[in-house]
Amino acid sequence: MNQNDKTGIRLIEAVQKGNPSAFEQFVEQYKRLIYHIVLRMIPNETDCEDVCQDIFLKIIQNLSGFRHESKVSTWIAKIAYNQCLNYLKKKRVKLVDDCLPGEIHSGSIDTESLAPDAYIQNRDIRERLHDMIDQLPVHFRIALTLFHLEDMHYNEIAYIMNLPVGTVKSYLFRARKSLRKNLENHYLREEIWIEST
Amino acid sequence: MDRKHLTEEAIFTFLDGTVSEYNHDIIHHLNTCDRCRSLLHQYQILYDELAREPENALSAEFNQQLMQRISIQSQRRFAWAKKESLYVIFTLLAMTTMIFMRYVNLHSLIGSFSKLRILPEIILSFIRSPVLETISPIKTHLPVCLMTVIVILSVILLDRLLINRFFEPLKYHIH
């Protein structure tokens, strides 16, 4: 158990006792994680903050349900993930989608804004990459976010997404491969991708 | 390893930092193969970008808005819970009264209250009695059992549904 987990458990205990400052600390500590999950799963930014608030309300209601079976961050991420899935189901967003490499087309991306400056090139790659990530199916997006941004292990992601570890690995593998291939297809013409490597 | 190019899976394993007995071979191959080194570089850029913090973040008012929502929700739930508690208590009282009137003879009950002072003697004589089986167990124990079950259920209901679930957020609603 690392320091963050200890702090998380201490905060949950304090929040359960009704300590308001502990609750504020709790929000401060975990809002970044929740926001990352929501941002990746719900592309509509206007709804992001409302969904984040809904997740915190859900967490408060379920505090007594935390059984120390997982890390606090994993437990929170699972609640956030399920809440976002419910939101997307309500909005009738297609959830079960399978993306094979090459399915994401960069044809819709504007290529005229490229500039020679390295900073702009990097920024351009970043923007295009985020556009491409947004086009990936939800499960691919969330697996990428939890692994790369939140430094979670395969088994933690599998627990959060309620999937076998092998499936999570497969999602990550295919998502990265697909993103690289699309970036390569896009930038091969511009020679930026090659130059930057 | 030298002759064949690295698979993408091998590159992911290497970049993920997963302990692999082939890591040494991978490094050796990368030192000698431009194609695989280029692929590794491309994935390295991809990894760096994926790990980059998003530029947009939650608004500065997020915490305040959250507290306000919790406060409003708690007040609503408190009002609902109060109303709901009254319904539950009223229903339980009505059910208890009905059971009581159906199964218990009030006159004999009042009479038995007056005999409370000789209760230990009655209990002892009951225990010593050789004809316990002559007492109808259903008629005697059903009201008591039902009332006990109702009381236990109502305690669980009040505790689980009303107190734990709905009164919990109240702790945070006044700041």
Query: What is d(CA A169, CA A103) in angstroms, rounded to the nearest whole number?
Result: 19
pLDDT of residue A54: 92
Query: What is d(CA A140, CA B158) in angstroms, rounded to the nearest whole number?
Result: 43
Q: What is the ipTM of this complex?
A: 0.77
Closest chain B residue to A31 measured between Cα atoms? Answer: B58
Residue A62 has pLDDT above 60, yes or no: yes
Inter-residue contact A67 to A104 (CB < 8 Å): no
pLDDT of residue B75: 74
Inter-residue contact A169 to A154 (CB < 8 Å): yes
Query: In the structure, what pLDDT confidence band is assigned to residue A75 with cuts at 50, 70 and 90?
Result: very high
Query: What is d(CA A59, CA B66) in angstroms, rounded to the nearest whole number?
Result: 12
Residue B54 one-letter amino acid: P
What residues of chain A lie within 8 A of the CB of B59, using their CB? 49
Name, in order, each residue with C-beta under 8 angstroms of B102's C-beta and a sequence gap of 6 or more. Answer: B143
Q: Specify burial of residue B77 (Cβ count, 10 A radius: 0-12, 13-18, 19+).
A: buried
Closest chain B residue to A170 measured between Cα atoms? Answer: B9
Lowest mean pLDDT across A27-36, A161-170, B56-65, B117-126: B117-126
Closest chain A residue to B167 measured between Cα atoms? Answer: A61
What residues of chain B lie within 8 A of the CB of A123, using their CB? none
Q: What is the pLDDT of residues A88-127, one digit of tens each?
A: 888 776 665 555 445 444 333 333 333 445 555 666 777 7
Q: Distance between the two ends of chain A, CA-based, in angstroms?
A: 38
Query: In the structure, what pLDDT confidence band is assigned to residue A192 with cuts at 50, 70 and 90?
Result: low
Quickly name the fold that domain A3-90 has: Rna Polymerase Sigma Factor; Chain: A (1.10.1740)
Q: Choose the closest CB to B51 out of A31, A148, A193.
A: A148
**A188 shares contact with chain B (CB less than 8 Å):** no
Residue B109: CB atoms within 10 Å: 10
**A123 shares contact with chain B (CB less than 8 Å):** no
Residue A185 has pLDDT above 70, yes or no: yes
Chain B interface mutation, best of A60, A156, A165, A185, highest count of B Cβ atoms under 10 Å: A60
Residue B41: CB atoms within 10 Å: 15
- pTM over cut 0.80: no
* Angle, in degrees to the nearest 10, between helices B62-103 and A45-61: 40
**A183 shares contact with chain B (CB less than 8 Å):** yes
Chain B interface mutation, best of A148, A156, A192, highest count of B Cβ atoms under 10 Å: A148
Query: What is d(CA A108, CA A7) in angstroms, rounded to the nearest whole number?
Result: 46
* Higher per-residue pLDDT: A5 or A113: A5
**A10-45 burial: b if 16+ Cβ within 10 Å, else e:** ebbebbbeebeebbbbbbebbbebbbbbbbbbbeee
The class of domain A118-196 in CATH terms is: mainly alpha
What residues of chain B lie within 8 A of the CB of A173, using their CB? 8-9, 12
Task: Break chain A into its structural domains and give their ranges.
Answer: 3-90, 118-196
pLDDT of residue A90: 84
Distances (CA, A) of B27 to B17, B23, B128: 13, 6, 90
Inter-residue contact B162 to B84 (CB < 8 Å): yes
Among A100, A108, A101, A84, smallest CA distance to A34 is for A84
Q: Choose the closest CB to B165 out of A48, A61, A193.
A: A61
B45 vs A125: CB contact, 8 Å cut-off?
yes
Residue B90 one-letter amino acid: F
> What are the mean pLDDT values of chain B's consecutive 10-residue runs (175 residues total)?
75 79 79 88 88 82 86 72 72 75 64 64 64 54 70 70 53 45
Query: What is d(CA B52, CA A2) in angstroms, rounded to the nearest whole number?
Result: 23
pLDDT of residue A13: 85
Q: Choose the closest CB to A49 out of B49, B59, B73.
A: B59
Query: In the structure, what pLDDT confidence band is assigned to residue A167 with cuts at 50, 70 and 90?
Result: very high
pLDDT of residue A96: 57
Inter-residue contact A71 to A8 (CB < 8 Å): yes
Closest chain A residue to B44 measured between Cα atoms? Answer: A197
pLDDT of residue A115: 40
Name, in order, each residue with C-beta under 8 angstroms of A49's C-beta and a sequence gap of 6 or more. Answer: B58, B59, B62, B65
B62 vs A126: CB contact, 8 Å cut-off?
no
What own/partner pairs with CB < 8 Å and gap ≥ 24 does B56-59 have?
Answer: B56/A39, B56/A45, B57/A35, B58/A31, B58/A35, B58/A48, B58/A49, B58/A52, B59/A49
A60 vs B47: CB contact, 8 Å cut-off?
no
Q: Choose the closest CB to A197 out of B38, B47, B66.
A: B38
Task: Give the mean model confidence (pLDDT) for residues A154-181.
Answer: 92
